[in-house]
């Protein structure tokens, strides 16, 4: 029987943690892009788009991420699309993040006084110009702290990707625990690694929140 040293466990977990980071980053960046698009769609409110986006947000906020992952993974396969666990996890987390981010940012935009829209509209700025040059810079300032805070949620949410077989930190922890017969030590290390990723992020969020005032 192979003996697992602490270093063996930690080394393998660190290797797997890269995938947690990559998946988090993809979900966050993808979610930001999609979320911003949805926000603009919702603000212009054309063709009932605002209601559609609101329904989208409700759908993703009202169902467990685990179900979203399952549905996407097996659903896409059923539709004949050959997806890997990696693609399914990236897409599911992107959609999940976009729903939350668009809702967070909508609140930030709503916090900007109406008069700012009216003043910029009166100066003949187009909707895009109003949003980009007047509203966005002000909303961004309010949005930074809750957005970075949400990033922590995304990092932890990537753990669920393990259920569809994507080998990230949690999945690797499970595999190592099985072969090493050291579940407590292994999962302890897994938890510590998540903490090592999330703690600096939430510190940054707190710092930003303070400088914002």
List residues binding other proteins (CB under 8 A). Answer: 113, 115-116, 118-127, 129, 133-134, 137-138, 141
Q: Minimum Å distance from CB 50 to other proteins? A: 17
Nearer to other proteins, 137 or 188 (CB): 137
Which CB atom, from 74 or from 133, has the smaller least distance to other proteins? 133
CB of 131 to other proteins, least distance (A): 12
Give the nearer residue to other proteins in terms of CB position, either 75 or 128: 128
Of the pair 125, 185, the CB lying nearest other proteins is at 125
**Minimal distance in Å, beta carbon 120 to other proteins?**
8
Distance spanning both ends of the chain, measured CA to CA: 59
User: What are the E-state strand segments in the chain?
Assistant: none
CB of 38 to other proteins, least distance (A): 21
Rounded alpha-carbon distances, angstroms, from residue 182 to 2, 20, 132, 176, 178: 13, 22, 54, 8, 8
Structure tokens given for 111: 């916090």
Answer yes or no: are the C-beta atoms of 102 and 39 closer than 8 Å: yes
What is the C-alpha to C-alpha distance for residues 114 and 200, in angstroms, rounded to an integer? 36
């Amino acid at each position: 029987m192979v003996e697992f040293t602490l270093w063996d466990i930690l080394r393998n977990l660190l290797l797997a943690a890269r995938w947690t980071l990559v998946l988090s980053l993809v979900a966050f960046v993808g979610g930001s892009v999609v979320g911003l698009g949805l926000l603009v769609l919702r603000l212009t409110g054309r063709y009932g788009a605002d209601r559609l986006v609101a329904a989208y947000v409700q759908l993703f906020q009202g169902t467990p991420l685990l179900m979203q992952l399952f549905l996407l993974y097996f659903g896409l396969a059923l539709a004949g699309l050959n997806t890997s666990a990696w693609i399914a996890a990236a897409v599911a987390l992107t959609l999940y993040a976009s729903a939350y981010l668009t809702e967070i940012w909508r609140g930030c935009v709503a916090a900007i006084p109406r008069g700012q829209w009216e003043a910029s509209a009166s100066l003949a700025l187009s909707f895009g110009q109003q949003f980009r040059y007047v509203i966005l810079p002000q909303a961004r300032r309010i949005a930074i702290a809750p957005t970075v805070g949400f990033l922590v949620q995304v990092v932890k949410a990537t753990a669920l990707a393990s259920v569809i077989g994507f080998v990230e930190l949690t999945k690797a922890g499970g595999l190592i625990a099985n072969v090493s017969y050291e579940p407590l030590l292994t999962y302890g290390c897994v938890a510590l690694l998540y903490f090592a990723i999330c703690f600096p992020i939430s510190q940054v969020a707190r710092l930003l929140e303070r400088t914002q005032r």
